[in-house]
């Protein structure tokens, strides 16, 4: 995908729906020219609002549909903006479940204007089934008590910290936002179930003995909707280390009020047990806690309690970084 990006938010109803674009802005600000919002949009990336004409004049190459809505659909009233970007000479990239090429007006406009369509959620290659054969290199996988608790952010922060220390490290993206940030990857939730572990083996191949792959986790073993993807990642990553990610203010799994959040120790042990199928020597090396909804006065005590309970270095990577977890590595 050519850069810079124009980040299209449509008219999403809240900030969380724009998490794809928010992640790109946070980690790749220099790739982002501005945001394009329709009337009524409730999300704001904190960057300049621009028009398609302004983006064209500035040499923007790609309109990035930076939203992640429930069901991954593309509203009909967004199509005019997307085709307008192609008429201005831009390519279009999306991480939604619906393929851009399956929307007739978008496909026709792409052909007419010579624009490329990037559906990053959909793999463009096939994969073998997982083999579980030991491969060179070191791998860390972030796992979660729930979905959307900071697994991607933690993985990227670990990569950044390791590189700052002069270590070999690569972030391996397994979701659409991570792919936009890394420029490559596999959106594992769109891989046929039998091949999830094989796709992760392909994504994190044999490497130098001192090289760390930081593999972005997805979902949670305890979330009924996403546990299958989480398990496939554990087996394919063959992790030497795992970091448990947690959002402490939740009382139930996201979107499932009948499903309580798991106990931290039980969640950690379940992930370690599952990971031992392909790496018997896997170890937990830290806990990453998203305290954005916790009061400042309560944050320190909360983190200290988790650290005492699990005996692992516990941090909020956004507040204090991940240096203590990297020390443990």
Q: Say how many domains are in the chain.
A: 2
Note whether residue 127 is domain-resident: no
pLDDT at site 124: 84
Q: Note whether 310 and 244 are same-domain residues.
A: yes
Kindly indicate the confidence band of residue 70, based on its pLDDT and cuts at 50, 70 and 90.
Answer: low
pLDDT at site 238: 98
Q: Note whether 102 and 149 are same-domain residues.
A: no
Q: Note whether 148 and 295 are same-domain residues.
A: yes
pLDDT at site 268: 98
Q: What gap in Å lies between CA 206 and CA 133, rounded to an integer?
A: 10
Note whether residue 130 is domain-resident: no
Q: Note whether 245 and 213 are same-domain residues.
A: yes
Note whether residue 105 is domain-resident: yes
Which of residues 62, 87, 119 is at a domain's end?
Answer: 119
Give percent of the chain with pLDDT exceeding 70.
99
Q: Is 166 helix (H, G, I), strand (E, B) or coil?
A: coil
Q: Note whether 105 and 159 are same-domain residues.
A: no
Mean pLDDT of 43-71: 93
Which of residues 119, 151, 183 is at a domain's end?
Answer: 119
Q: Note whether 179 and 324 are same-domain residues.
A: yes
- pLDDT digits 0-9 by tens, 25-41: 999 999 999 999 999 99
Q: Note whether 284 and 255 are same-domain residues.
A: yes
- Residue 26: how many other CB atoms lie within 10 Å: 15
pLDDT of residue 59 exceeding 70: yes
Range(s) of the domain holding residue 37? 5-119
3-class secondary structure per residue, 8-54: EEECCCCCHHHHHHHHHHHHCHHHEEEEEECCCCCCCCCCCECCHHH
Kindly indicate the confidence band of residue 72, based on its pLDDT and cuts at 50, 70 and 90.
Answer: confident
pLDDT at site 71: 65
Mean pLDDT of 257-265: 95
- Write down the number of H helices and E strands in the chain: 12, 13
Which of residues 91, 119, 147 is at a domain's end?
Answer: 119
Q: Note whether 155 and 111 are same-domain residues.
A: no
Alpha helices in the chain (DSSP H): 19-27, 52-57, 79-87, 104-113, 151-164, 176-182, 196-203, 227-237, 264-275, 296-310, 317-320, 323-328
The CATH number for 157's domain is 3.40.50.300
The CATH number for 100's domain is 3.40.50.720
Half-sphere exposure of 248 (CA within 13 A, CB side): 21
| Token pair for 46 | 């904190």
| Token pair for 309 | 């309970």
Note whether residue 65 is domain-resident: yes
Note whether residue 291 is domain-resident: yes
């Amino acid at each position: 995908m050519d850069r810079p990006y124009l980040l299209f938010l449509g008219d999403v109803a809240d900030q969380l729906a724009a998490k794809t674009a928010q992640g790109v802005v946070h980690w790749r600000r220099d790739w982002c020219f501005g945001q394009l919002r329709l009337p009524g949009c409730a999300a704001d990336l904190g960057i300049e609002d621009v028009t398609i004409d302004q983006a064209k004049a500035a040499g923007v190459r790609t309109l990035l549909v930076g939203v992640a809505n429930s069901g991954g659909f593309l509203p009909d009233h967004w199509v005019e903006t997307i085709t307008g970007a192609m008429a201005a000479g831009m390519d279009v990239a999306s991480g939604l479940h619906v393929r851009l090429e399956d929307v007739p007006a978008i496909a026709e406009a792409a052909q007419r204007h010579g624009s490329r369509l990037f559906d990053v959620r959909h793999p463009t290659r096939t994969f073998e089934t997982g083999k579980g054969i030991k491969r060179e290199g070191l791998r860390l996988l972030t796992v979660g008590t729930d979905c959307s608790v900071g697994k991607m952010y933690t993985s990227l922060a670990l990569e950044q910290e390791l590189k700052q220390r002069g270590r070999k490290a690569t972030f391996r993206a397994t979701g659409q936002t991570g792919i936009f940030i890394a420029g490559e990857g596999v959106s594992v939730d769109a891989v046929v179930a039998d091949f999830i572990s094989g796709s992760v083996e392909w994504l994190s191949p044999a490497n130098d003995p001192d090289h760390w792959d930081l593999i972005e986790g997805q979902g949670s073993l305890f979330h009924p909707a996403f546990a299958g993807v989480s398990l496939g990642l554990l087996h394919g990553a063959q992790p030497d280390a795992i970091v448990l990610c947690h959002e402490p203010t939740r009382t139930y799994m996201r979107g499932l009020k009948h499903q309580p959040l798991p106990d931290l120790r039980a969640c950690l042990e379940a992930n370690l047990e599952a990971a031992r199928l392909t790496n018997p020597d896997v170890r937990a090396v830290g806990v990453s806690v998203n305290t954005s909804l916790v009061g400042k006065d309560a944050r320190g005590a909360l983190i200290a309690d988790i650290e005492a309970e699990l005996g692992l270095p516990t941090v909020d990577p956004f507040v204090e970084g991940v240096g203590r977890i990297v020390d443990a590595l």
